[in-house]
Amino acid sequence: MKQLKHLAAVALFTFSGFTTFAQGEKNNWYFGKGAGMIFSGDTAQATSSRLFTEEGSAVWSDKDGNLVLYTNGITVWNRDHKVMPNGNGLMGGKSSTQSALILPKPGSDNIYYIFTTDIQAQSDGLRYSIVDMNKDNGKGDLVYKNNFIIAPATEKLTAVKHSNGRDWWVLAHRWNSNGYMAFLINDEGVTTQPVMSMVGTVHGGPNRKAIGYLVPSPDGTRLAAALWNDDSNFEILKFDRSTGKVSDPILLKGFSEAYGVAFSPDGSKLYGTTYGKEDGKGQVVQFDLTAGNQDAIAKSAVVVGVSGSPKVGALQLGPDGRIYMARKDNYYLGVIHNPNQKGTASNYVDNGFHLGKQKSDLGLPNFPHLPAFSRTSTYK
């Protein structure tokens, strides 16, 4: 893959020369209070579902965009929006930031893993369950549930494709620790002994500090985390897709109730949601990752959107290249229409997408890193 030259001698990151666009696996979204979206090309339409959740959910579709299954971390629904056999009783939490994550097993056409996280570093911790899609006439059945991996852990949960293009790294964070954990998922199953990276900020203290998203960049070489608190932070790190190691943390300090994070499609910008102490409204903050060193990136922070909602939550990059923002108890999602652009040129619209008769809450679906490249892009 073509690499762009450094933007400055002190630049911390190298950006890919490709803009990434998701495949069909991200075409169906279910979240909030029965809310949903179906993407087709550059368009999206509102829909509804059986899922209700305060925060986390996960959805998986096939490469052609056909729904396979979805969950709030407690209940699992099939493509007909019916509860799967044995599909209740998962040990995620409906008020866990990233309560669930769905991954297909490498080398298998019918086995899916559902990883779950407990609320606020409680004892159920990080677990996984197994779905066999050959069961129930091809609609799926939970054949193994709630296998324990580790506790306590934060509410952070994501996955990155291994550099071999086949396996996965499932990423989570230990509680009262600065330990990022990377679990290898391959055709033999789930490796429960993680690659540990003791790096960055200690995630610990009052249990509510376990709140906040962890997401990968579109090329999978970086991670961004939100560390929720009254005086909270964002954290950016490098990720090695071959070894599972996390390194080179950048801490962006002083953002009240940091919660959601998302990279722009070209990887040059990071967006975070936070709470505006002065006006009591939710905000979207942009960081320019091409600005230079850590101090320069921190100083590049600019509020690109202010919401009419006091509580805003998840950010998620859509298959259409736009970034969507959850607004608690609202019939609209916020939308960043041009996320590769700097500052207010990114064009945040608060009433950006109408959900019809359903409402958003704090969460949007949790998807893994899905590498897909459709056209080249450059910036200087």
CA distances, 117 to each of 114, 189, 229, 363, 372 (Å): 10, 19, 19, 14, 27
Domain assignment present for 7: no
From the list 34, 40, 102, the residue with the least C-alpha distance to 65 is 40
Count structural domains, the chain: 1
| pTM, to two decimals | 0.91
Domain assignment present for 208: yes
Checking phi first, is residue 123 left (phi over 0); if not, alpha (psi -120 to 50) or beta?
A: alpha
Instruction: Return phi, psi of residue 376, to 5°.
Output: -80, 155
CATH number for the domain that contains residue 85: 2.120.10.30
Query: Is residue 162 predicted with pLDDT exceeding 80?
Result: yes
User: Rounded to whole angstroms, how far apart are CA atoms 6 and 14?
Assistant: 6
Domain assignment present for 3: no
Domain assignment present for 5: no
Domain assignment present for 296: yes
More confident residue, 89 or 16: 89
Beta strand pairing call for 141-150 and 153-161: unpaired
User: Rounded to whole angstroms, how far apart are CA atoms 326 and 90?
Assistant: 24
The parent domain of residue 336 ranges over 18-376
Which residues, other chains included, contact 66 with Cβ-Cβ below 8 Å and sequence gap of 6+?
24, 79
Domain assignment present for 2: no
Domain assignment present for 13: no
Domain assignment present for 119: yes
pLDDT of residue 65: 96
User: What are the tens digits of pLDDT across the range 263-305?
Assistant: 999 999 999 999 877 678 899 999 999 999 999 999 999 999 9
